[in-house]
Amino acid sequence: MKKQNVRTISLIVCTFTYLLVGAAVFDALESETEKRRWEALQSVEDRIIRKYNISQEDFKVMETVVLKSEPHKAGQQWKFTGAFYYATTVLTTIGYGHSTPTTRGGKLFTMCYAIVGIPLGLVMFQSIGERVNRLSSFVIKAVRTSLRCKRTIASEVDLICVVTTLSSLTIAGGAAAFSRFEGWSYFDSVYYCFITLTTIGFGDMVALQKDNALNRKPEYVMFALIFILFGLAIVAASLNLLVLRFVTMNTEDERRDEAQAMQALQVAVKLEGDVITSNGSILSGYEGHDGQSLNGTNTSSMCSCRCICLNGNRHKRHQYKLRRSPTHIRHLLPEVVPMQDLNYDTQSMHTIGALNGSGIMTGSHMGMGMGMGMGLDVVDDTENRSPHKPPHKLLKRNVSLLSFRI
């Protein structure tokens, strides 16, 4: 199985396992509290109904009025300031839900606006994140150069530490400001900042929703918008280092496999069904280069050179000349030595050729043939030579037949 498939299956299993663990933990932490709050609300509802002697229908109407009037406590949500705040939550995919369009035109425009705005926002924040990482690399290099460190280039671990520190400072500073303006506790403010910058946006805590802040506190509105945009850029820088590295792992593995396959094809040389690789190994459809065939049978005779000589009919049947240019496989062929340089007489050659009755030196007599050129086949042409020519002139050149086992 490919590494990419194994990684995908592992991620699916880990994700569902993480979901099951999270569900179990949230169940243990929140279920009892939810039950107690529901019982308390039911008790208050019954007490109000008995006290003011109203029906269940009237109480439902009052409940609806209270819920629907909650967003209006911050002032007009759809004036330019409130509309800009809403557009920001759409483009950044935060989606608090504190104000939603009620008209059909508003809902249609929200969908069209999100189709264009969300990709635009993602690309913008990703680009800003890359610039932040580049600036961090430059600052780290400058500091290390001033301190005369041996290693001045910033690594991924250094960049992760920098953007993590910036993210922590952004959340801590924003939490202090929101705690002051909204009257929240510092822990709730940290929770709001984290939910906002991770674009979860539950909507249980939303800034700018008290005391008509959208119209009366323009400086606070400006701070909230800058905090959202700047904080999302810092988070995008963190995601660029942490998440995208894992996202692109499958693509990198596929490219690496393709490159290895192309490289393997480039270094292979084909010889009429055989393949001679760059390290000199012969890959054949019938037998391997180690003298053992693919079906498990071993050869009966082998020579010590790269050419493997076979006896019997197989040797005669599979003997062929190399049809490739010698320059392509010259490093794989044994060196051809002229016969006149070997200092062997004609009678010696006749003796060797008579060993098998055919004039061809086989692997069983290779010990004698090693002195004549590392197992080169030598053909005795005594019977066919002319009686007028001296015997020593017939052996001035070596026959270039090689016995490859295929």
Task: At 358, give phi and psi (nearest 5°).
Answer: -120, -5
- Contact in structure between 197 and 236 (CB atoms under 8 Å): no
* pLDDT value of position 273: 53
CA distance 276 to 198: 57
- Comparing CA positions, the residue from 115, 108, 118, 123 lying closest to residue 88 is 118
Residue 84 lies in a domain: yes
The confidence band for 267, taking pLDDT boundaries of 50, 70 and 90, is low
| pLDDT tens sequence across 45-76 | 999 999 999 888 898 998 898 888 877 767 78
* pLDDT value of position 268: 56
* pLDDT value of position 275: 52
Residue 173 lies in a domain: yes
* pLDDT value of position 44: 92
Q: Which of 19-33, 127-141, 296-310, 388-402 has the highest mean pLDDT?
A: 19-33
- pLDDT at 198 > cutoff 80: yes
Residue 54 lies in a domain: no
Q: pLDDT higher for 358 or 192?
A: 192
For the packed helices 186-197 and 156-182, what is the interaxial angle rounded to 10 degrees?
A: 130
* pLDDT value of position 400: 41
Q: Which of 157-161, 191-195, 239-243 has the highest mean pLDDT?
A: 191-195
CA distance 354 to 342: 19
Residue 222 lies in a domain: yes
Q: Which two tokens stand for residue 350?
A: 């006749």
Q: pLDDT higher for 305 or 89?
A: 89
| pLDDT tens sequence across 292-338 | 444 444 444 444 444 444 444 444 444 444 444 444 444 444 444 44
* pLDDT value of position 245: 66
Residue 318 lies in a domain: no
Q: Residue 189 sits in a domain of what CATH number?
A: 1.10.287.70
Residue 296 lies in a domain: no
Residue 260 lies in a domain: no
Percent of the chain, pLDDT > 90? 35
* pLDDT value of position 260: 81
Least confident of 113-122, 185-194, 205-214, 341-350: 341-350
Q: pLDDT higher for 324 or 277?
A: 277
* pLDDT value of position 244: 66
Q: Which two tokens stand for residue 59?
A: 């109480």
Q: Write out the residue range of the structural domain in which residue 103 sits.
A: 74-233
The confidence band for 189, taking pLDDT boundaries of 50, 70 and 90, is very high
Task: Measure Cα distances from 389 to 137, 207, 359 in Å.
Answer: 85, 112, 19
What burial class does residue 367 get, using C-beta atoms within 10 Å of its C-beta: 0-12 exposed, 13-18 middle, 19+ buried? exposed
- pLDDT at 178 > cutoff 70: yes
Average pLDDT of the chain? 74
- pLDDT at 346 > cutoff 70: no
**0.75 cut: is pTM over it?**
no
What integer is the mean pLDDT of 154-177? 91
* pLDDT value of position 276: 54
Residue 168 lies in a domain: yes
* pLDDT value of position 281: 60
Domain total for the chain? 1
Residue type, 183: G
- pLDDT at 97 > cutoff 80: yes
Least confident of 82-86, 262-266, 326-330, 359-363: 359-363
- pLDDT at 174 > cutoff 70: yes
- Contact in structure between 377 and 403 (CB atoms under 8 Å): yes
